[in-house]
Amino acid sequence: MEGDTKVIVYRLGANCDIGEVEEGKIYSGKVQGFATFGAFVLLNDRVKGLVHKSNIKVRHKEQDPILVLVRGIRPNGNIDLEEVTPSVFHTEVVVKKSAPVRLKDLQRSIGRVVQIQGEVSQVKQTSGPTIFTLVDGDGIASGAAFVEAGVRAYPEVQLGDIVSIMGEVMQRNSQLQVEVSSLAVMTGDEALHVREEIDLTLDIRAEPPELALLVESTVLAALVPAMREVARRIRKAVFMGQPILVRHHADADGISAAVSLEQAVIALIRENGGDFDSGYFLFKRAPSKAPFYEIEDITRDLDFSLKDLVRYGQKLPLIILMDNGSTEEDIPSLRMAAVYDLPMLVVDHHHPDEVVDPYLQGHVNPYHVGGDFGVTSGMLGVEIARLVHPSVEPLVRHIAAVSAVGDRSEAPERGRYLALAAENYTEEHCKEIALALDYLQFWLRFNDGRELVKDLLNLNGNEERHRALVRHLVDQANLAIAEQVEASMPHVESRMLPNGVHLFLLDVELHAHKFTFPPPGKTSGEVHDRLIQKNPNLPVVTIGFGPDFAVLRSRGVLMNIPQMVRELRQEIVGGGVSGGGHLVVGSIKFVEGMRGQVLEALIGKIGGAPVQPR
Ligand code: MN
C-alpha cells in the first residue's frame, strides 16, 4: 500500500452491522482490549473483530485508534483483521444499507438522510447546484448536488440512467429536495431490477380509469381500446417526467380537442408533483397552420426540443397530433421525427392513410371502426381527456359540443353532446364559441393564446368575461364575414355538370380581401353556405380558388377528395398537385402555371361523381 494515494479507509456508520463490512477493505476502528492471541478492535459500537498478534504492527493501549484490513469474515461472524499503516489515505463513511424510500413518501422523511432510487428524467445545471430529477413510477423528486457554483456535479450521469442517491430531505419553498451527499449510477442486475420495478409500477398506474362514454355511440364505443392506449401513453409520459407537446389543426375543432386534453394533462402533472411553472414546464400546445403536420412544424418542434435537451437536460417530448396527423401529407414530418425516435400519437378524424401507422404509437380515428369525420376530434379529445384525468370532465364536456358545431358534424353524436351541454350552453352559444375560436386563432397565428382560449371555452371560471369576449369576437367575425361575402358573391360563376351537380366557382384571390379574416378557405365556406340555402335539395359543389390552390365544399355529392388528389397528381404531369382533407371537404394545391388544367380535370372528376339519392 505504500505510496498509494488512493487508499480509502471506511468508517462504519453508527447503525451499520456486519452486513456492511466487506472483505479486502480497510476500516478505522478502536482498540477495545487485549487477549493472549491478539487485540479486539471495535469498528463501531456493534461490530467487533480480532487482530492476531502476528498482524499487529504497533504497540497499542485500550481506546487507541487503529486502521485494519478485513482479511476474512467467518461463517460464525468472527472477523479476522490485520493492522495496516498507510501513510496517505482518505476516509469514507459507510451508511447503513436500508430499503430506499419511495419518492412519493419523501414528505415523511423531511430532515432525515435517506436513500432514493429512480430514473433520471432531467439534469438541470443552475447557477448554483446541479438539479437531478428522479422518477420511480409513482413519484417524482429532485436532488441538488453541489461541487462549485454553476459547475456540473456528477458529469457521468446521463438522462435515463438509473441512479441511487443518498442525502438529506429538505423542504425548499413548496418543493421537496434531497441534498445529495452521494450519487451513484447503478449498473447490471441492480439497475435492471430497479428498472423492472419502475416499469411494473408504471404499467399499473398508467392504466386509465374504467369510465363509461359521455354519450351513446357505436363508433366511440369501438374506439375505446385505441383511446385507452393513447391515454395510457400520455399518463406514462407524465409519470416519467417526459414533456408533452400537442400539435393541432388551428380551427375550432382542433383547438377543442387539444385544449380538453391540455386541461387533463396539466391536472395530472400537478397531481404527480411535477409542479414546476404550474405544470406548463412539461406541457406545450401549438397550432399547425396547415391541416397536417408540416415540415415547418416538426422543424420548429425538434429545434426547441433538442435545445431543451442540451440546455435543461430535458427528455425529448411525446408528440400528440390532434385533428391532423393521419394522412400521407404527414409522412415527411413523421419520418423526420423518427430520426430522433420521437414518440407520436395521433387523434384525428380525417380520412386516414395506412402509411402513417408504422410511425405512430397510437392512432385514434373513427374511420378505423367504420365511422367518419362526423365524430369530431373535439369529441375524441374530451373522451381521452377524461381517461387521462377524470376530474376535468365537468370542466371540458361542453367542448365536445363546440367542436361538433364548429366542424358541422351531422353525426348522431352531435345532438348527444349538445344535449349533454344544453343546461349551460345552448347550441347557438356553442356555435358562437366555435366562430370566436376561429376568429381568435386567425389573429393568434402560430401562438396558442392559452389564457384567451381558456376564456373563450369558459375554463377560467369567469362566466361574465367569457360571455363578453365571445360576444365581441363573434360581432367582429360576423362583420368581417359579411363584408367578405358581400364583395365575393357577385363574382361567383356557376356551371351545371353532367351528373346534375350545380358547380359554383369563385376566385377568392381576386374577389376577396387578402390577409384578413375570413381567410380563403373560410370565405369559400361562407359562400357555399349561402349557395346551398339558395339551392335547396340540389347537389352543390363550391370551389374557391386562388393562383395555386383550391378549396372544395360540397353537399349531396359522393366524392372522395383524397382519392381525387391522388389521381390528379398522377394524371397531370407537371401540375405539382397535392392536398387532401375529408371525403367531401378539402383543399388542393398545384403550381400556378397549371391552374387551368388542374381545375378543369378536377371539375371533370366532380362531374363524374355519383350524386347522393334524395
Ligand atoms: Mn376537425
Angle at 506 between CA 503 and CA 508, to 5 degrees: 150
Kindly report the average pLDDT of the chain as a whole number.
Answer: 93
Range 207-425 has CATH code 3.30.390.50: no
Helix runs in 183-325, H state only: 188-206, 218-239, 252-271, 295-312
Distance 254 CA to ligand 1 centre (A): 6
pLDDT, average across residues 434-457 = 96
Q: What is the pLDDT of residues 100-113, one digit of tens each?
A: 899 989 988 898 88
pTM for this prediction: 0.81
Distance 274 CA to ligand 1 centre (A): 32
Distance 278 CA to ligand 1 centre (A): 29
CATH H-level superfamily of 8-94: Nucleic acid-binding proteins (2.40.50.140)
* Largest pairwise CA distance in the chain: 120
- Alpha carbon 251 to chain centroid distance? 20
Give the C-alpha distances (Å, rounded to integers) separating 593 from 136, 146, 508, 547: 59, 65, 17, 8
Distance 450 CA to ligand 1 centre (A): 19
pLDDT, average across residues 382-411 = 97
List the one residue out of 437, 478, 429, 474 whose CA is nearest residue 455: 437
Give the C-alpha distances (Å, rounded to integers) separating 239 from 25, 157, 202: 40, 21, 7
Distance 91 CA to ligand 1 centre (A): 66
From its phi and psi, is residue 362 left (phi > 0), alpha (psi between -120 and 50) or beta? beta
Q: What is the pLDDT of residues 482-537, one digit of tens each?
A: 999 999 999 999 999 999 999 999 999 999 998 899 999 899 999 999 999 999 98
Of the options 2.40.50.140, 2.30.30.90, 3.40.50.2300, 3.40.50.720, the CATH number for the domain spanning 103-205 = 2.40.50.140
Q: What is the pLDDT of residues 283-309, one digit of tens each?
A: 999 999 888 999 999 999 999 999 988
What per-residue confidence (pLDDT) applies to 1? Answer: 44
Distance 377 CA to ligand 1 centre (A): 5
Distance 302 CA to ligand 1 centre (A): 25
Domains 103-205 and 492-607 agree in fold: no
pLDDT, average across residues 13-29 = 86
- Work out the angle between the directed axes of helices 595-608 and 561-571 (0-180°, nearest 10): 130
Instruction: Answer whether residue 98 shows pLDDT above 90.
Output: no
pLDDT, average across residues 126-140 = 91
Please count the residues of the chain.
614
pLDDT, average across residues 153-177 = 90
Instruction: Answer whether residue 156 shows pLDDT above 60.
Output: yes
Pairing of strands 8-12, 26-35: parallel
Write down the domain spans for the chain.
8-94, 103-205, 207-425, 492-607
Instruction: Answer whether residue 253 shows pLDDT above 50.
Output: yes
pLDDT, average across residues 391-396 = 96
C-alpha cell at 261: 386534453
What per-residue confidence (pLDDT) applies to 99? Answer: 79
What per-residue confidence (pLDDT) applies to 2? Answer: 44
Instruction: Answer whether residue 278 shows pLDDT above 60.
Output: no
Instruction: For residue 432, name the pLDDT band (cuts at 50, 70, 90).
Output: very high
Three-state DSSP class for 590? coil
C-alpha cell at 287: 397550432
Task: List the beta bridge partners of residue 164.
Answer: 117, 184
Instruction: For residue 313, name the pLDDT band (cuts at 50, 70, 90).
Output: confident
Q: What is the pLDDT of residues 582-602, one digit of tens each?
A: 777 889 999 999 999 999 999
Residue carrying C-alpha cell 398537385: 577
What per-residue confidence (pLDDT) applies to 583? Answer: 77
Distance 165 CA to ligand 1 centre (A): 48
Distance 139 CA to ligand 1 centre (A): 36
What per-residue confidence (pLDDT) applies to 279? Answer: 60
What per-residue confidence (pLDDT) applies to 605? Answer: 96
Task: List the beta bridge partners of residue 156.
Answer: none
Distance 518 CA to ligand 1 centre (A): 18
Instruction: For residue 614, name the pLDDT band (cuts at 50, 70, 90).
Output: low
CA distance 26 to 8: 7
Of the options 3.10.310.40, 3.10.450.40, 3.30.470.20, 3.90.650.10, the CATH number for the domain spanning 492-607 = 3.10.310.40
Give the C-alpha distances (Å, rounded to integers) separating 307 from 123, 192, 446, 447: 13, 30, 20, 20
Distance 525 CA to ligand 1 centre (A): 14
As a whole number of Å, the CA-based R_g of the chain is 33
Distance 444 CA to ligand 1 centre (A): 19
Distance 469 CA to ligand 1 centre (A): 23
Instruction: Answer whether residue 18 shows pLDDT above 90.
Output: no
pLDDT, average across residues 605-611 = 95
CA distance 473 to 603: 36
What per-residue confidence (pLDDT) applies to 97? Answer: 67
Distance 455 CA to ligand 1 centre (A): 21
Distance 514 CA to ligand 1 centre (A): 24
Distance 352 CA to ligand 1 centre (A): 13
Instruction: Answer whether residue 277 shows pLDDT above 70.
Output: no
Distance 323 CA to ligand 1 centre (A): 5
CA distance 501 to 499: 6
Q: What is the pLDDT of residues 331-348, one digit of tens each?
A: 999 999 999 999 999 999
Distance 253 CA to ligand 1 centre (A): 5
What per-residue confidence (pLDDT) applies to 3? Answer: 46
Instruction: Answer whether residue 480 shows pLDDT above 90.
Output: yes
pLDDT, average across residues 81-101 = 86
Q: Which residues surround ligand 1, an ion (CB under 5 A)?
A: 253, 323, 377, 407
Distance 424 CA to ligand 1 centre (A): 24
